[in-house]
Structure 1
């Protein structure tokens, strides 16, 4: 090969510093702000680059040095954290800021500093704001969010806001956040009246999240009409009623059983309910869910199963429901339920494609034996033409568990897979509630599933998670259910 050809094929060398400034800013903005600031020592050019970081995220734990645990040292750490955040804002160019997130145990004692940071938010037209000030311990008082920084015009750029552990008292004539699309409030002091004032102007709001707001007693989103698509409400213990808007398509709720008041037929397609103090999942589905959920496609329900539901003769049907997920817990000594009742769900959801049934019933383990429990019951045929995927966990071989599983298997003509797991992977409230002897219940569930379900499986669709006796006898129940979690915990403890 001659020299001319070699020269022709030789590629030019492009150095990192030769890249356009906007590309360098995009790269540096993917780094945590602490790491990005370190690039300033490279050159004066790089100092300008990091000062244009578009995602300014500050965490107290990552940006303040670890000192002793005395109250004096805690105050010193907070002072250093505040100084570092303020220094970054002071050096920043103020251009093209997309996100500002500050996480730390701040309260009204630090209001002067936080107010200056909010001035920076306003001046830079930041699009995404997060203030996460929650703490485990009592403090002087939550930060009183200053609505005076946000008028109709100078808040129009803000698209997403998350506020945690602050106090919200908007003035009656408050007019701002006109273009806000996402709002999440956590551990926040806000009354019913102030909530309505706050969201009444959010005409573009698409997501509203409310978590542990202890003063709320009633929530109404009906005035938002078709804009609000996703509502998530969790652990608001005084809340008594939620009035939904017509355009809502996704609802998530965790708390006590309360009425949902729709003004008319809803467009809801996805509902996730985690109910406290509810006594029957079937009772809730057929008597408490609004009958106006005409378009429901996905329903996830978690509750305790404490009593057998008395269902109406002509119960409602969910004509569009495609995915049903139930998480059932029955942690009481007297069993009052019959899982075979859940067979009615096949009739109630004729287009159902995926069914998940996750159980935790540790106090009622009676492995099915024909000589002790009699012949297995069977219901009249209920052919289902759409059910394809079934996932059952917490299967410990009880008679009614087996009868329901067999009913589903026999009546689902299009079923492709039925996964059966004896372990309570999803319905278990917490790992500390596991009983030391539960492992033997999993073994019984495995053996019953192999003996009866697999024998009835003519299309090779049943997949039973294996439980080995030697593992049950040698491993703890926590290791059986969550082996990866236990392994990581041991690794972390050994390294520390």
Structure 2
């Protein structure tokens, strides 16, 4: 049988209609704004490579408003375990120079260079990057050079380059492992809203001058600055709303402006003259021996606007509370990250935390993240009857998140008390895995068995007492932990936070 000749015509209910062929579309035919969005989502190394595709693509990558240079963006590939040592600082510099030479600088809003160990020896190249930022009128500038060798001289930031220009376009600066030898007048900081200093060589007087010239500064962060002994805002009406201080070990006092809203502090405990406008307070310190003692005795009672409190510390001592007269009437969110692990016998009592329900009568969200001594067993009836406290209903708490629940007696008593007292709770999560331990990265195989203990106790006692169906217990069974390192069971989001901190 002869094959029927394929016709380009088809019948659609009658007349013959000529078949229309769609034009062949390419990625480059997309509107430029869509191409710019695609390019902006690529690592810088991949974005620059698109310039060799065709003459049309040659300058598309230059539409990026953010130029970010780091080991991850220039070298590391997703899923590949490539050590940082595979690229030297000279190769890194060559790649940054090559990209900036091809870019006109037009439209760039952010320039970020994050690489170690760049230092004074590379000043000639880094200076050209600063000049590129000035010529491009960049709004955000970030240089973070983690010096790995103490004997290496850090790069000196060239403030003098800005004197010929107003520098008024700069709105954000982050400087890491850099020396700041500045002159008295730094007028180019006049429109700066964000300033972050990490491991920089700066004195108290130099910092005071810098802050004085930042007339509209809203966020100020300072970390690992070894020469800073005192931190004072330049004048009482400073516009700083968010202050972040971390690991400045010679720091002795902080004087805060009256407009401050958020304070994050990490390091040895020092005197804090907290303003009455403070709404968010985060304290992370290894000095604290009792979170309750700190809350009741160290925190001033003149924080009427405090809405969120985060406290991370080692809980090794039981507090003797004599004054529970004041209350945090605006506190809505309380987060406790408590490490109960000690080489000695534990003398703390988790049930003591129940008094915080009285101190914060309008609290809506409570997080208690614990890491317990795995040598203490889960609750059995031969440990004694479960304690029950006198209580008044708490009518505002809606969500409760408890992690590190190893099923120990006082942990169970606190959880039962919250379930009994807080009549409006809609969601109560009990997770045997300790987020605090994932932060410190110090678990052993016995902790895995404690995950199972916590699950069994929560299921036997908490779920039985849950008459409103609000308790959710993370399931961990014996077969899940056998021959498995405990970190394999930790929530990936927690470990991701640890990786970011590193």
TM-score by length of 1: 0.87
Task: Indicate yes or no: 2:469 matched with 1:457.
Answer: no
Q: Partner of 1:276 in structure 2? A: 286
Give the superposition deviation at 1:483: 8.0
Given the superposition, is the C-alpha separation of residues 152 and 255 from structure 1 closer, same or farther in structure 2, using an over 3 Å criterion?
Answer: farther
2:105 alignment counterpart: 94
State the 1:347 CA deviation. Answer: 0.5
Deviation digits for residues 173-210 of structure 1, max 9, x if unmatched? 33221111111111211111111111211122121121
CA distance in 2, matches of 1:387, 1:133: 45
Q: How far apart are the structure 1 equivalents of 2:173 and 2:240?
A: 15
Are residues 445 and 145 of structure 1, via their aligned partners in 2, closer, same or farther at CA, if it must alter by over 3 Å?
same
1:349 matched residue in structure 2: 360
Partner of 1:467: 476
Instruction: Quote the Cα distance in structure 2 between the aligned partners of 1:12 and 1:50.
Output: 26
Residue aligning to 2:245: 233
Q: Which residue of 2 aligns with 1:192?
A: 204
* 2:65 corresponds to 1:54: yes
Count how many residue pairs are aligned between Structure 1 and Structure 2.
Answer: 477
User: CA contact under 8 A between 1:302 and 1:327: conserved in structure 2?
Assistant: yes
Alignment pair present for 1:403 and 2:413: yes
Asked if the contact 1:203–1:224 (Cα under 8 Å) also holds between the matched residues in 2, the reply is no
- Secondary structure of 2:276's counterpart equals coil
What is the aligned-residue RMSD (CA, Å)? 3.2
Distance in 2 (CA, whole Å) between partners of 1:50 and 1:388 is 48
| Equivalent position of 1:440 in the other structure | 449
- Separation (CA, whole Å) in 1 of partners of 2:432 and 2:53: 58
Equivalences for residues 386-401 of structure 1 within 5 A = 386-401=396-411
- In structure 2, relative to structure 1, the CA distance for the partners of 1:23 and 1:363 (3 Å cut) is closer
Alignment partner, residue 203 of structure 1: 215
8 A Cα contact 1:358 1:427, kept in partner? no
Secondary structure of 2:104 counterpart = coil
Counterpart position of 2:224: 212
Structure 1 partner of 2:498: none
Does the C-alpha gap of structure 1 residues 64 and 405 become closer, same or farther in structure 2, counting only changes over 3 Å?
closer
> Does residue 1:28 correspond to 2:44, yes or no?
no
* Deviation, structure 1 residue 302: 0.7
Q: Measured at CA, do residues 342 and 52 of structure 1 come closer, stay the same or move farther in structure 2, by a change above 3 Å?
A: closer
Please, which of 158, 161, 174 is the counterpart of residue 149 of structure 1? 161
Partner of 1:491: none
Matches of 2:239 and 2:205, distance apart in 1: 21
| Other-structure match for 1:430 | 440
1:180 matches 2:180: no
Partners of 2:14 and 2:102 lie apart in 1 by 51
Partners of 1:232 and 1:314 in 2: CA distance:
29
Distance 2:73 2:324 in 1: 59
State how far apart, in whole Å, the 1-side matches of 2:17 and 2:279 are. Answer: 63
Please say if 1:254 is aligned against 2:266.
yes
The answer to whether structure 1 residue 340 and structure 2 residue 351 are counterparts is yes
SS of the aligned residue for 2:235 comes to: helix
| 1:284 CA drift (Å) | 1.0
Inter-partner Cα distance in structure 2 for 1:223 and 1:94: 37
How many angstroms apart in 2 are the aligned matches of 1:203 and 1:9?
65
Aligned mates of 2:20, 2:310 — CA distance in 1: 61
1:299-325 deviations in Å (ceiling 9; x for gaps): 111100111112233432110111111
Match of 1:38 among 31, 34, 49: 49
Q: Give the structure-2-normalised TM-score.
A: 0.86
* Equivalent position of 2:183 in the other structure: 171
1:81 maps to: 92
Correspondences of 1:348-387 after superposition (within 5 Å): 348-362=359-373, 365-371=376-382, 373-387=383-397
From the superposition, tell whether residues 154 and 393 of structure 1 become closer, same or farther in structure 2 (CA, over 3 Å). Answer: same
Uncovered stretches (5+) of structure 1, i.e. residues with no partner: 487-496
Please state if 1:126 is matched with 2:102: no
Post-superposition CA distance 1:119-166 (Å, at most 9, x none) = 111111011111121133345310011111224953110111111110
8 Å Cα contact 1:152-1:175 kept in structure 2:
no
Shift in alpha-carbon separation, 1:220–1:98, aligned structure 2, 3 A: same
Please list the CA deviations of residues 226-249 of structure 1 after superposition, one character each: whole Å capped at 9, or x if unmatched: 522221111111112222222222
Query: Which residue pairs with 1:330 in the alignment?
Result: 340
